[in-house]
Structure 1
Amino acid sequence: MDTTVDRSVEPLGLRRTLKLRHLILYGIIIIQPTAPMSIYGVVSNAARGHVVTTILIAMVAMLFTAVSYGRMARVYPSAGSAYTYVGKEIHPLAGYVVGWSMLMDYMLNPIICAIWCSAAAQNIIPQIPYAAWAVAFVLVFTGLNLRGVQTSSRVNALLALGMSIVVVVFIAYAIRYIALVARPVGGQWLLPFYDPATFAPGLLFHGASIAVLTYIGFDGISTMSEEVENPRRNILLATVITCFAIGVLSAIEVYLAQLAWPARIPFPASMVDTAYVQVALRVGGKFLFQLLNATLLIANMGSGIAAQFGAARLLYGMGRTDALPKRFFGVLNEKTRIPRNNVLLLGAVTLAGTFLLTFEKGAELLNFGAFIAFIGVNAAALIHYKFRSQEKVVFAALSPLCGLAVCTFIWLNLNLDAKLLGAAWVGVGLLLYFVMKGNKPLAAVEWSDPTNSA
């Protein structure tokens, strides 16, 4: 009797080869070691300094939320998305609101990246006006996505390594400058944490609502659930450790920057968007200025291209499941297999956004959607592990409740304009939802995961 197993008929699946260290590295690559540098000036102005404190407050919110993401990844190991967690645990309509809010994030990310890149490029060649740079970067983002050009994981790892080296170089120059030139004494060492001359609680939490942008992307770790050894343990640990590591590194970066350029010396309006590279100019001269400017320019270009591609896939997934008009959003180009309509639409939206929004307004509006997702995931984790699951976990209610409370509080401290525009976006989404739903039952309208919308 032949007992040979025919391997050719076994179902294909993803190999579980990733270890905890691989997940942490992946998370750091997604978030980037230079994460707080692009928003440094905006946060400094919003919080009147105190950037270190805002980074740490945001880290607390993200750590609780990271625990909730990790726990929900146990329940839905193949989905890895906030709208899946919320839609399944709370209500399909709530999941739709989360997904629609995340779509706003995907659309805003390339806008703020294009704004920052245009300002950074002007640092290199100031003779070319902002408008020309904005058009050029949007064309690059859109053109590369139309061709389906995406960086490989190996290239991303090399870029992250390069960024890490530049961060180390900056830290060395900053320490040298602080020791030899700035020479803070006594209480001056603590001013980045608390400056009584400029401290205001409302401004501090407003700054924290922007500083959360430092951590955006950590939830991407949950999408690796099918390729990880022991995902029930490692997804949670990797998400928490990544947030903590990025928080500590970011706090060091902005602490040194604030010592080198105290908050009581405000950045001129023309320098706010690229304030961190102005600090680099002070501590390391033209060499460090150009090095850091080029590094952040490359990093933001990569983020903008990837974000636009992700938004195009998300729109395609929504179109494919009739959450948006399928004839426009749910089609692929026959030759390139790219959702060309979506890429072109997003290119037009990105171009308009670079002229209609400032970097600060775009960042706050992006965080409006992000916090809706974070609040939703914490609520889903609370409902599942406190009321539905038989699995016993530590602090089943306390941890998500803390995450829910902190995230809600920070969300409420967003700029009023961001909250009004965000609410209008959600209102449009709800109107579209009910128009598209027609006579189908509420649960019939699904939200497709962009990571699975190939």
Structure 2
Amino acid sequence: MNDPTPPAAQAPATPGFRRVLTFWDLVLYGIVLIMPIAPVPLFGVVQKLSIGHAVTTILLAMVAMMLTALSYGRMAAVYPSAGSAYTYVGRALHPHLGFLAGWAMLLDYVLVPLICTIYGALTVQRLVPWIPYPVLCAVFAGAMTLINVKGIRATVNANLVLMVVMTTVILAFIALAVRLLFAREGWAGLLSTQPFYDTRTFQWKALGAGTAVAALTYGGFDGITTLSEDVKNPRRAIPVATVFVCLFTGIFGGLQIYLAQRVWPDFTTFANLETAFMDVSRVVGGSLLFGAMAAILIVANLGCGLSAQAGISRLLFGMGRDKMLPAGFFAHLDERRSTPLYNILLVGGIAMAGALILDYERAAELINFGAFLAFMGVNASVIRHFYFSAGRPGRRLLPDLVLPAAGLAFCFLIWLQLSVHAKIVGSIWFAAGLVWDAIQTRGFRTTPAAIDFSDV
């Protein structure tokens, strides 16, 4: 006798994400994450490090990021997870290597509120120079901490509005810079090879040092991979979207830096290297553009710092809850607001103290120390999974070995150019992670606990 119950009633479908996002949705999301003014805070510092070749460093970093973005996209299609590099390295290479990749990423996330505090305070100081820098650091870090303690977080819609405002200001800068350069020197002022290669100052070592910091321009591109369960045809859309976002960022950001170099080629005369782009904006568009650029930089850094502090605080809470960190402190929740109060205060304190100890350049290099270790791990994961996995059919030399190997080599060369200070501090952090992993896994005899990056 036939069962009258419909098949759907017998076996309900397993709930899951709806694949509704298109390729262009991913691209927009990635541009929002990176922000269209990403290279602006780096301009003066990278100009100094590269001895006047900032736009070249942006383009060189773009090559490394595009190769790495392709690797991220391919691994996201295989392991759709918010863990990103942590998950890919842990699954494709080894769980303990995955833990160390996650530990390196943890350093990045902790430092984002710090670098936002530094740049936000420096930008405000250009508007009100009579207020001491330590006071501005305290105000900036305190504001982020207070807002997060109250449980308020930036929304996607707010970030989208911010992106539109930033794009409007930077497009105004581009138009006014083009008009100024053409009025000064005609086509010769607009079209020049000097920003890319100046025989008087070019040095490979300086170019490498600048590129090691300029790579921060592309920070956040890997966030696209966290949407792999929501997008149509993720195996194709995710890799192409991540590469496209890096390409767009490099070209659009490179144009901003190119024009800034043409307007103000002598980097030794900036009032402040960290806020040098604001000086260029004043030359291009007067006090109005100077103020507009300052306003969007302040708001952008506050929004970025808020989101980063909220995310890392929740990540630390998860690690405390899973007994990976002391639960009494890290797993504490404020009963009134259900926020990880101790973690928020800790991250805010690190941002405040770090802003007084580190300058923008050192903080950027420390972020890139962990980031490039993770990037190298992801490129190695592609090689291991797609080219060397036992019994895997259809291996392809170019996409499965050559391109990720080139990405790994490029990232390693950039990582080598980081300062000795960044390598020492980063190595201490990395060694601490290795020791902690050994303690947690009884001398590497058990599998390390999973780190949940879903809230970051």
Shorter-chain TM-score category?
A: over 0.9
Report SS of the residue matched to 1:185. Answer: helix
User: 1:96 deviation in Å?
Assistant: 1.5
CA-atom RMSD, angstroms?
A: 2.0
Which residue of 2 is the match for residue 451 of structure 1? 454
Give the 5 Å matches for 1:38-57: 38-57=41-60
Does the alignment pair 1:147 with 2:150? yes
User: 1:58 deviation in Å?
Assistant: 0.1
User: 1:392 deviation in Å?
Assistant: 4.4
Q: Contact conserved, 2:110 with 2:309, CA < 8 A, in 1?
A: yes
Q: Which runs of 5+ in 1 are unaligned?
A: none
Report SS of the residue matched to 2:399. Answer: coil
Does the alignment pair 1:162 with 2:165? yes
Does the alignment pair 1:350 with 2:351? yes
Residue 341 and residue 279 in structure 1: after superposition, are their counterparts in 2 closer, same or farther (change >3 A)? Answer: same
Separation in 2 of the partners of 1:419 and 1:439? 26
TM-score calculated relative to the size of structure 2: 0.94
Does the alignment pair 1:195 with 2:198? yes
Residue 183 and residue 112 in structure 1: after superposition, are their counterparts in 2 closer, same or farther (change >3 A)? Answer: farther
Indicate the larger mover: 375-384 or 1-10: 1-10
Residue 287 and residue 451 in structure 1: after superposition, are their counterparts in 2 closer, same or farther (change >3 A)? Answer: same
Give the 5 Å matches for 1:324-335: 324-335=325-336
TM-score calculated relative to the size of structure 1: 0.94
Which residue of 2 is the match for residue 235 of structure 1? 238
Residue 187 and residue 225 in structure 1: after superposition, are their counterparts in 2 closer, same or farther (change >3 A)? Answer: closer
Indicate the larger mover: 358-367 or 95-104: 95-104
User: 1:327 deviation in Å?
Assistant: 2.3
Which residue of 2 is the match for residue 385 of structure 1? 386
State the one-letter code of the partner of 1:49.
Answer: G
Q: Which runs of 5+ in 2 are unaligned?
A: none
Choose from 405, 409, 413 the match for 2:409.
Answer: 405
Separation in 2 of the partners of 1:123 and 1:7? 67
User: 1:314 deviation in Å?
Assistant: 2.0
User: 1:311 deviation in Å?
Assistant: 1.4
State the one-letter code of the partner of 1:89.
Answer: A
Separation in 1 of the partners of 2:352 and 2:10? 51
Which residue of 2 is the match for residue 205 of structure 1? 208
Separation in 1 of the partners of 2:285 and 2:403? 43
Report SS of the residue matched to 2:41. Answer: coil
Separation in 1 of the partners of 2:322 and 2:444? 13
Indicate the larger mover: 61-70 or 85-94: 85-94
Choose from 222, 227, 239 the match for 2:225.
Answer: 222
Separation in 1 of the partners of 2:318 and 2:431? 21
State the one-letter code of the partner of 1:132.
Answer: V
Deviations 1:161-206 (A, max 9, x none): 1111111100011111111136573898111000111110000011
Separation in 1 of the partners of 2:138 and 2:55? 34
Indicate the larger mover: 321-330 or 226-235: 321-330
State the one-letter code of the partner of 2:37.
Answer: T
Does the alignment pair 1:92 with 2:95? yes
Does the alignment pair 1:63 with 2:76? no
Indicate the larger mover: 30-39 or 148-157: 148-157
Which residue of 2 is the match for residue 416 of structure 1? 420
Separation in 1 of the partners of 2:185 and 2:384? 52
Which residue of 1 is the match for residue 375 of structure 2? 374
Indicate the larger mover: 31-40 or 13-22: 13-22
Report SS of the residue matched to 2:268. Answer: coil
Choose from 243, 265, 268 the match for 1:266.
Answer: 268
State the one-letter code of the partner of 1:400.
Answer: P
State the one-letter code of the partner of 1:229.
Answer: K
Give the 5 Å matches for 1:98-109: 98-109=101-112
Residue 46 and residue 439 in structure 1: after superposition, are their counterparts in 2 closer, same or farther (change >3 A)? Answer: closer
Separation in 1 of the partners of 2:302 and 2:381? 34
Deviations 1:349-387 (A, max 9, x none): 111001000001000111001000000100111111111
* Same amino acid, percent of matched pairs: 42
Report SS of the residue matched to 1:213. Answer: helix
Separation in 2 of the partners of 1:343 and 1:243? 31
Which residue of 1 is the match for residue 446 of structure 2? 442
Q: Contact conserved, 1:44 with 1:207, CA < 8 A, in 2?
A: yes
User: 1:67 deviation in Å?
Assistant: 0.7
Give the 5 Å matches for 1:106-185: 106-181=109-184, 185=188
State the one-letter code of the partner of 1:402.
Answer: A
Indicate the larger mover: 383-392 or 69-78: 383-392
State the one-letter code of the partner of 1:30.
Answer: L
Report SS of the residue matched to 2:288. Answer: helix
User: 1:317 deviation in Å?
Assistant: 2.4
Separation in 2 of the partners of 1:83 and 1:412? 22
State the one-letter code of the partner of 1:43.
Answer: V
Separation in 2 of the partners of 1:82 and 1:335? 35
Q: Contact conserved, 1:102 with 1:373, CA < 8 A, in 2?
A: yes
User: 1:88 deviation in Å?
Assistant: 1.4
Indicate the larger mover: 335-344 or 237-246: 335-344
Report SS of the residue matched to 1:48. Answer: coil
Q: Contact conserved, 2:438 with 2:444, CA < 8 A, in 1?
A: no
Separation in 2 of the partners of 1:18 and 1:241? 16
User: 1:131 deviation in Å?
Assistant: 1.3
State the one-letter code of the partner of 1:398.
Answer: V
Report SS of the residue matched to 1:190. Answer: coil
Separation in 2 of the partners of 1:273 and 1:189? 25
Deviations 1:123-179 (A, max 9, x none): 122221111111000011111111221122122111111111111100011111111
User: 1:68 deviation in Å?
Assistant: 0.5
User: 1:283 deviation in Å?
Assistant: 1.1
Q: Contact conserved, 2:44 with 2:277, CA < 8 A, in 1?
A: yes
Residue 7 and residue 243 in structure 1: after superposition, are their counterparts in 2 closer, same or farther (change >3 A)? Answer: farther
Which residue of 1 is the match for residue 399 of structure 2? 395
State the one-letter code of the partner of 1:429.
Answer: G
User: 1:321 deviation in Å?
Assistant: 2.3
State the one-letter code of the partner of 1:185.
Answer: A
Separation in 2 of the partners of 1:367 and 1:156? 24
Deviations 1:29-61 (A, max 9, x none): 000000000111111111011111000000000
Which residue of 2 is the match for residue 323 of structure 1? 324
